[in-house]
Chains A and B, each alone.
Chain A
Amino acid sequence: QQQVKQSPQSLIVQKGGISIINCAYENTAFDYFPWYQQFPGKGPALLIAIRPDVSEKKEGRFTISFNKSAKQFSLHIMDSQPGDSATYFCAAGSGNTGKLIFGQGTTLQVKP
């Protein structure tokens, strides 16, 4: 199976709060799990990515948590800011081929 399921579809968070977006995948052959941020009128931009040999990766306010046995991974945005308001996509794929399967996206709104 090639699907990547993402939730929630939309999220509203107060400034300073924690935003959490979840994804689940089916294909155990996937070995690369990136998160992309997309602003209106722009292409997706790589935010942070993880490989399945680690359970967590942190870059600034952004953290990926990865659960290989459950085939799930999540994005945590700490101290959310209005500038973080965007659509976020998880993806899964092969680090060798570069092919990515994207989730449906989560629209995040951070209220001042």
Chain B
Amino acid sequence: EAGVAQSPRYKIIEKRQSVAFWCNPISGHATLYWYQQILGQGPKLLIQFQNNGVVDDSQLPKDRFSAERLKGVDSTLKIQPAKLEDSAVYLCASSRPGGDGYTFGSGTRLTVV
């Protein structure tokens, strides 16, 4: 089966600009996750969707980050405005309900200058 697709692979922006990341999960995976991985640290969950509904967004900085999953398939994560500390790899993962088949994409590396 095809893996979790993410784009772009790399993005460099200036602080205060906006940026968006795209994720296409594995077909049939109802649950989609966005993680933030800062260099040298483990991934941190930002938001979890079940189909097109939000299950957990307690760690999402809602003043600048937003995410949506229209039609319960693809998802976009947006940052507006970006700060220097947002420099990280943004990982998308998907799974069947209950976590079965949990698979990560290769991520988008964001550099904010």
Contact = CB atoms under 8 A, between A and B. Distances in A.
B64 to A, nearest CB: 22
B21 to A, nearest CB: 13
Contacts, number: 60
A43 B106 contact: yes
Nearest to B101: A46
A1 interface: no
A96 B107 contact: no
Contacts of A104: 40-42
Nearest to A102: B42
Interface of A: 4, 6, 32, 34, 36, 41-46, 89, 91, 93-105
A44 B104 contact: yes
Contacts of A101: 45
B33 interface: yes
Contacts of B44: 102
Interface residues of B, number: 24
- From B43, B44, B93, B103, name the one whose CB has the most chain A CB atoms within 10 angstroms: B43
Given A43-B104, A99-B56, A93 B42 contact: no
Interface string B29-51: 00101000000111111001000
Contacts of A99: 33, 45, 48, 56
B107 to A, nearest CB: 5
B91 interface: yes
B72 interface: no
Given A93-B99, A98-B99, A105 B56 contact: no
B43 A95 contact: no
A99 B98 CA distance: 9
26 contacts: A34-B102, A36-B104, A41-B106, A43-B4, A43-B93, A43-B105, A44-B91, A91-B42, A95-B99, A96-B98, A96-B99, A97-B48, A97-B56, A97-B99, A98-B33, A98-B48, A98-B98, A98-B99, A99-B33, A99-B56, A100-B102, A101-B45, A102-B42, A102-B44, A104-B40, A104-B42
